[in-house]
Structure 1
Amino acid sequence: MNTYSTPAYGSGSYGGGGGGGSGYQSCMQMCAASYGAPTMASSTWSSPPATTTVAGGSSGMTHTVIVAPTQGVLRYVPFAINASVGDTVAFIWNANNHTVTKSSQLAICNKTEDIPFTSGEQNKSFVFTQTVNDTNATFFYCGTPGHCQKGMFGIINPPNAAGSSGAVSSMMSSMASNSSNMTAMVKYAQMMTAGDPMAATWGGNIDMSSMPASSYQYVLENVMYTRTFLAANPETLSADGSVNLSDAGTTPLMVPKDITVAASNSSTGTSTPGYGSPTSASAGTTSTSSPSPTLKGGARSLGPSSIIVSFVAVSLAFVL
């Protein structure tokens, strides 16, 4: 299994030659040349070791984010995590041809020059780690052409807006009221999470109000996909609302169909399938935390959204 660890990001200093400068690019090129990732025929993904060495060291916990749970599903799972200073975020590729690249909240599909990090395009089983140096919201996306524009992005320490009109829980119903496709996706997510209130309301406090309007649809899609993933794998969702991949052990992880399948099928009148084939996972000892009620809080944009936003309160409250 190939691993690559970069210097920490956040308020600390960056040791790779400066933000976005030639030293950084040179470092990235050298590391990519030294750690090329193989294409694997196996359907399993491997977790990083219990301790991962990163520049500057890390004494906190490790949060795992799956980069594309299967080929063709352009999602990070979970979409958002809460991490404390000193924690490590381990990105694990479960499909080919994806990147993890830091962006900004206002230009989600554009690489930032503000203490940047990027994995380069990698393949299945590659592991990329980052150490958290502050609790500011950090956005990342897949730099493979077209992937971010279809919604492949995620957040570390998403902004919190519990109970406000800008929260996911408040936006979902109002946006669905103006879009038949969004309505179909919401109904599908509700069906897939029925009987699991924690999964059904995961991510409800994430604040969307400061994000570009063109991202709203994709934020909701990402939240709903994570909800279906958690409901399909209830052993990964702890009683406190955190996602613990170590509980999976050798139990195969069920990978739901992408949430957009529901929208496509609503247009054709066909039924929406539930899951794809199970993906066997050996999750080791890493874990990842889901958003909670105490969340901390340009040049190219996301694909256009046909959704007209009106703010209507709904009953989808985030539950720990």
Structure 2
Amino acid sequence: MVESTSTSLAYSTPSYGSGGMSWGDSGYDGCVQQCIASFGTAGSYQPTATSGSSGSYGSGSTITVVVAPTQGVLRYVPFAVNASVGDTIKFMWGANNHTVTKSSQLTPCNKTSDAPFASGEQNKSFVFTQVVNDTSPTFFYCGTPTHCEQGMFGIINPPSALDAPTSVAGMMSSVMQNDTTGNIATYAAYTQNKTAGSMGANWGANIDMSNMPSWAYEAVVENVMFTRNVLAMNPDLMNADGSVNLNSIGSTPMMVPPDVGSALAASSSGSSSSDSSSASSSASSASTSQTPSGASSSNGASSVASSKVLVGAAVLVATFFAL
């Protein structure tokens, strides 16, 4: 990536509460409803007049990534993109107090000294561009305290492992088993319900997690599912080949789902065991189907493209996320 310079803006570090909340005995449906009631229903992202910009443009395609589409949603959309040498990644801020800072696969929440780039702390409507000069995986994160740890990081040219045990699909079983809160199963059930029939229902399944730190596994899975929810709500953002194209959002608002994954994680201390069992049961009840590998894409999104046919999720851990 080509380094660009920018000036950081002064900001006050956001304060955070304990995040504790009890879902009671209402099970999965009540959990999701309370979560949405507390953290908001679907919103929308609509670019406004650019308030500032930094970076340069390359000779290839421009690929848009939204930085926090609404206030309180700590995600990059889409979570991962593929790009060719000469393409430009255009980061567009949808909320205040976020950064785009280069990191590494082994330390996704720490700034790297390897050809670094950093936007500085920026606010809504800021635009930051980076020209791709290397197709190796490039990780970036939000440097605002605690944001990355809550899952706000992304990948350019993510490592891909088709049908491998180390892919998102292949590691789903162990991720769910190691999640004692049951939040991953709950979010998976929520996502499967919301994305049923969507081309984006299986987006990102082949992202390889073999070289990522174990603490990041759940965050990767949540980011993949959040992007799937966005694509289900905005089917026009997907091309016929299953690739993602956000370049149209300048004229058409992008609907944004509530970040149920982060909300569930924040409330894990108050979750009841009945929530987990209910979510797991719901997640395991999906119908069975099959999906081919991702197709080629004009914006380089082939390895994270959604396929057009769903893979069976009778056993969620092995098939729900297959490309």
- TM-score normalised to the size of structure 2? 0.70
Shift, 1:176, TM fit: 2.0
Contact preservation (8 Å) 2:83, 2:301:
no
SS across alignment from 1:314 = helix
How far does residue 291 in structure 1 lie from its aligned partner after superposition?
4.8
Residues 183 and 135 of structure 1: CA distance in aligned 2, closer, same or farther (over 3 Å): same
Question: Is 251-260 or 150-159 further displaced after alignment?
Answer: 251-260
1:72 to 1:204, Cα distance in 2 relative to 1, 3 A = same
User: Does the CA contact (< 8 Å) of 1:66 and 1:93 recur in 2?
Assistant: yes
- Change over 3 Å in CA distance of 1:291–1:144 after alignment to 2: farther
**Is the 2:65–2:246 Cα contact (8 Å) retained in structure 1?**
no
| Percent identity between the two aligned chains | 55
Q: 1:206-239, CA deviations, whole angstroms, 9 ceiling, x for partnerless residues?
A: 0001100111010111101001011011110111
Q: Which runs of 5+ in 1 are unaligned?
A: 1-7, 17-26, 37-41, 273-286, 295-311
Matching residue of 1:246: 247
TM-aligned CA distance change 1:289 to 1:85, over 3 Å: closer
C-alpha displacement at 1:47, in angstroms?
A: 8.6
* Map 1:124-273 → 2, pairs under 5 A: 124-179=124-179, 180-196=182-198, 198-248=199-249, 250-260=251-261, 261-262=263-264, 264=267, 267=271
Name the counterpart of 1:277: none
What residue is the counterpart of 2:66 in the other structure? Answer: 66
- Given the superposition, is the C-alpha separation of residues 217 and 107 from structure 1 closer, same or farther in structure 2, using an over 3 Å criterion? same
Deviation string, structure 1 residues 272-293 (Cα, Å, up to 9, x no partner): 9xxxxxxxxxxxxxx9654527
Inter-partner Cα distance in structure 1 for 2:223 and 2:264: 14
SS of 2:208's equivalent in the other structure is coil
Q: CA separation in 2, counterparts of 1:121 and 1:53?
A: 12
Q: Structure 1: how far apart are the matches of 2:146 and 2:264?
A: 21
Answering whether residue 52 of structure 2 is matched by residue 44 of structure 1, we say: no
Aligned to 1:316: 320
* 8 Å contact from structure 1 (residues 168, 208) kept in 2: yes
- Secondary structure (helix, strand or coil) at the match of 1:292 reads helix
Indicate the larger mover: 60-69 or 173-182: 173-182
Q: Aligned equivalents of 2:202 and 2:45: distance in 1?
A: 30
| Alignment partner, residue 303 of structure 2 | 292
Cα distance change, pair 88–69 in 1 and its aligned pair in 2 (3 A) = same
Alpha-carbon offset, residue 246 of structure 1: 3.5
Task: Report the AA paired with residue 315 of structure 1.
Answer: T
Gaps of 5+ in 2: 12-43, 280-297, 306-315
For the Cα contact (< 8 Å) 1:101–1:143, is it kept in 2? yes
Indicate the RMSD between aligned Cα atoms, in angstroms. Answer: 3.1
Q: Which amino acid aligns with 1:172?
A: M
Q: Partner amino acid for 1:193?
A: T
Structure-2 separation of matches of 1:225 and 1:47? 26
1:53-112: CA deviations, max 9, x gaps? 955x62100000000010000000000000000000000000000000000111111100
* Matched length: 252
1:14-163 residue pairs with structure 2 within 5 A?
28-29=6-7, 32=8, 44-46=46-48, 58-163=58-163
CA–CA separation in structure 2 for the residues paired with 1:158 and 1:175:
19
